[in-house]
Chains A and B, each alone.
Chain A
Amino acid sequence: MIQQTNPIFGRLDWSVTPYTDLLNKVTSSTIVGAGAATVLVVGAIGAVALLTWMRWWKPLFRDWLTSADAKKIGIMYIVLALVMMARGIIEGFVMRAHQATALGTLAAPESGLVAPDHFAQLFSTHGTIMIFFVAMPLLIGLINFVLPQQLGARDMAFPVLNQVSLGMTAAGAGLIMISLLVGQFGTGGWTMYPPYTGIEYSPGEGVDYWLWAIMISGIGSTLTGMNFAVTIFKKRAPGMHFMRMPLFCWTSLCVAIMLIYAMPALTVSSTMLLLDRYAGFHFFTNAAGGNMMNYANIFWMFGHPEVYILVLPAFGVFSEISSTFSGKKLYGYTSLVIASMSISVISFTVWLHHFFTMGSSVPVNIAFGIATMVIGIPTGVKIYDWMATMWRGRIRVTTPIVYLVGFFMLFVIGGLSGIILANPSIDYQVHNSTFLVAHFHNVIIPGVLFGMLAGIHYWFPKAFGFRLSETWGRLTAYLFIGGFLCTFMPLYVLGLMGMPRRSPTFQNPDFMPWMYIAAFGGVLMLAALTSLTWTFWTSWRNRERLAVPGGDPWNGATLEWSSPAPVPEWNFPHIPVVTARDDWGATKRGGDPWRGPDEYVDIEMPANTYFGVTLAGAAFLLGFAMTWHIWWLSIVSLFTIVAALFWRGLQVVEPVIVPAEEVERADKQYRDRIASLTPVRRVEEETEHNRGVPDITEFAG
């Protein structure tokens, strides 16, 4: 098929929107497609209208988009992730609804809510979004927000680079979003294996959308990894030795290392596929000696470390909350550090288990199978450490603890099914079935999603100055746990009954009961999403009553709880001198933790800049133009990127100075405020009395 390429519009024309499809043929599938596009358009128009109506454009740019403050960048990452998560969960629901109606017959094999091709786009976008634009931004956002504060630093090592990373991620997410409205997304799943995704079998724009989104956001993630690593190595407060760092910092360090070494593999595999598609190369075609399995090989060299990139920050969060909410010191700190580090190295040695069925010879499969089982050991160690931390503690069943307990029970099941799959001969039976789908959701949802939501709940007061509603928070957690059980446990059964993953249809009526349970699970997941949204809304409305100006609502032990909530831009009026692990806890035990510093000094903060926004916009246009073969626009946007880099490089960038008087005023005000608030005991933690000043006599951690 030779497509005409218009010099101005590339391959764009009026036939690419889902509305044209709807006009051509009205089916449930085209209605769903057009409906999704409409939600996007209405959402975008609504957002623009709201910003204009509330006159928020200027604050948006001044306070947020041009800010180089790691905390704000972190929050923006998380907002992006939550928006994308809404789309991902809704897509998950649509897929479940589809499969619940997809029982075909031999006479009419196809049936269900959406057309097969549409279903393929759904699982491809869902997978891509959930991994790259939900899980990744959630964890990167959380680390950005928490890491400098826990290390006793004011910001990341490279604040502006951080802004660029966010911009790249947002540009990639934008490409995925626009594919709802303009053209189609790829149908090759989140892994986009060739040869199916080669130019011969997927000539359209879909795979290119994926490639550009992944390449652009991948650059962002690589840069983030470097930023985190340098921050941890260079910006620790004086006295903060490695073995005094909170565990979340340790897992951040692991994540940073893994990002640095794993992301390039993804960039390489995507670039090779890109060259195959755009420039007639033969890396992954049989013609001219290419080898398509090398794509799987390189992709999973990234892909497996990636899943540990996703889960390690959650492990960090669980380490923090298990200790804080049981009022005990973290059990087995050193073993947790060693376990995290081992995981991050071993995770580079297991990638072949994702394609056991490629047909390697026995020694290869065995070696990777054993490596896979070995990685279960450090993970198991961690679970025991957290349980030991909680053992005999005075546990408060707050939202994070609900997530943590849900994680304990569900993640272990998911881990066990992983160990089962690590056996090549078993994997041969169930690979590519919904058993696998159940397995990875079983580790990703309780691991990553629960961990990140728990983390958001835990640190939210630090960011915005008020707590989230515990009642709604817990309800959300229960709904996610129940929704998970109903959606994915049936998939284990279906997989063992022989149902392949990614099936748009099936002809076995025995599947149906399980399908209905799973669809009901999808409804629960939607309810959880709604409840999550409501948690934010209702907490915002009650922000006066939930306010915790004292800044330490949970009687925490790490440095970030020593500052007011919301935390000022400079984090600490005076960089703390760390004398112990869990330094804030040690200060509390020493009595009078809220004593102000003796002197105040001017503070240098990075100045706002439009650099990140410019690069993001140009990168988005570059991706879009390349996808649609609009060459002139590609050249213009590429040129813009290069020019912006030069421009920035040639400038002398002055930091903003916050004068000592201003710091002193704000800090004195905070200290006075603390003195006027009544300390709250833990039993009253969830009540209005919690103003963020805990009763330090109760501190035992």
Chain B
Amino acid sequence: MTKPNTGEVNPKDTAAHEIRSYATGFVISLILTIAAFAAVLSDLSPTLKILIICIAALLQVTTHLRNFLHLSFSGNQSREDLLLVLFSASLLSIMAGGTIWILSDLHGRMHGDQAAHAEPAEHSHNRAPED
């Protein structure tokens, strides 16, 4: 983990390799972005749309990390990279999970089991708010 990262590389070799890696990444990102937009414009069910967007986003993140940020689990700094990914994943899940928890709780407290712009008449069926 503390070893210096001064591996000698052949600059010509890496340049060609890098450009290929960037180009692949770019094309994949483009496809994934178009897929997300296409999903929104299509007339699939909302759940399916959300699912597609989420998957496209995750794949997009992976592509960026791999092709643009050169993250790899097999190179000479695989251990650092693994640490980085695990740490990021845990922090992001704290943030995302926390947000979902907090806001869905709030939603419940604000009689949110009912759509926000529901007809007033439906109020009578309202479940009593929790304590």
Contact = CB atoms under 8 A, between A and B. Distances in A.
Interface of A: 233-234, 236, 238, 241-242, 257, 261, 265, 286, 289, 291, 293-294, 297-298, 301, 345, 348-349, 351-352, 358-362, 364
B91 A297 contact: no
A256 B107 CA distance: 35
Interface stretch (B17-25, B31-39, B93-101, B119-127): B93-101
The majority secondary structure among interface residues of chain B is helix
Nearest to A234: B5
A242 B109 contact: no
18 contacts: A233-B80, A238-B4, A242-B1, A242-B2, A286-B116, A289-B117, A291-B103, A297-B99, A297-B103, A301-B99, A348-B91, A348-B94, A348-B95, A349-B94, A352-B98, A352-B102, A360-B109, A361-B109
A338 to B, nearest CB: 16
A360 B102 contact: yes
**Max chain B Cβ within 10 angstroms of own Cβ: one of A236, A360, A362:** A360
B43 interface: no
B65 interface: no
Contact of A293 (B94, B103, B117): B103
A361 B104 CA distance: 11
B61 interface: no
Nearest to A360: B105
Interface residues of B, number: 23
Given A242-B1, A242-B2, A289 B102 contact: no
Contacts of B117: 289
Given A234-B5, A360-B109, A351 B103 contact: no
B106 A359 contact: yes
Nearest to A242: B2
B13 interface: no
A392 B98 CA distance: 46
B8 interface: no
Contacts of A236: 2
Interface string B1-16: 1101100000000000
Nearest to B129: A361
A152 B4 CA distance: 14
Interface string B76-91: 0000100000011001
Nearest to B77: A233
Given A242-B1, A359-B106, A265 B101 contact: no
Given A291-B103, A361-B105, 5 more contacts: A233-B80, A349-B98, A352-B98, A352-B102, A359-B106
- The 7 A-B residue pairs whose C-beta atoms are closest, nearest first, are A241-B2, A261-B91, A364-B105, A289-B116, A360-B105, A361-B105, A348-B94
Nearest to A261: B91
A61 to B, nearest CB: 34
Contact of B106 (A233, A242, A265, A293): A293
Contacts of A358: 106
A696 to B, nearest CB: 29
A297 B102 contact: yes
A358 B105 CA distance: 11
Contacts of B2: 236, 241-242
Given A265-B95, A348-B95, A364 B102 contact: yes
Interface in B15-62: none
Given A233-B80, A242-B1, A297-B99, A360 B106 contact: yes
Contacts of A301: 95, 98-99
A241 B1 CA distance: 9
Contacts of A360: 102, 105-106, 109
B13 to A, nearest CB: 19
A416 to B, nearest CB: 26
Contact of B101 (A289, A294, A364): A364
Given A294-B103, A360-B109, A361-B105, A351 B98 contact: yes
A361 B108 CA distance: 9
A604 to B, nearest CB: 14
A17 B105 CA distance: 46
Contacts of B95: 265, 301, 348
- Of B1, B91, B101, the most chain A CB neighbours within 10 A belong to B91
B102 A361 contact: no
Contacts of A289: 116-117
A238 B4 CA distance: 8
**In this complex, which of B5, B102, B116 has the most chain A Cβ atoms within 10 angstroms of its Cβ?**
B102
